[in-house]
Amino acid sequence: MGERMRALVADDVEANRSMLKTFLYFAHFDSELAADGLEAKHILETKTFDLLVTDIEMPNMNGFEFLTWVKKNPRSTSP
């Protein structure tokens, strides 16, 4: 198989992050985990990913705010 893809998972529930990481591993993704949208934003400022998975209700920066930031910052989604 080819090179594994990269996913960023943002969810404030640790069990959800763990489950998604396992699921994505079998879908050929290596995952980086964030506890909220703000942490995910900081990660995206320096790294790129093939897939973003986000919860909606999170502290500090919710999923809608995070995705709004992603949309306004095209560099965050370009390889």
φ, ψ of residue 41 in degrees (nearest 5): -60, -45
Per-residue pLDDT reduced to its tens digit, 15-35:
999 999 999 999 999 999 999
- The pLDDT assigned to 79 comes to 54
CATH of the domain at 71: 3.40.50.2300
Determine the structural domain holding residue 50 and report its residue range. Answer: 5-76
φ, ψ of residue 65 in degrees (nearest 5): -65, -40
Q: Which two tokens stand for residue 68?
A: 């709004």
Query: How does strand 5-10 pair with strand 51-54?
Result: parallel
Per-residue pLDDT reduced to its tens digit, 50-79:
999 999 999 999 999 999 999 998 766 555
Question: pTM of the prediction?
Answer: 0.89
What is the number of domains present in the chain?
1
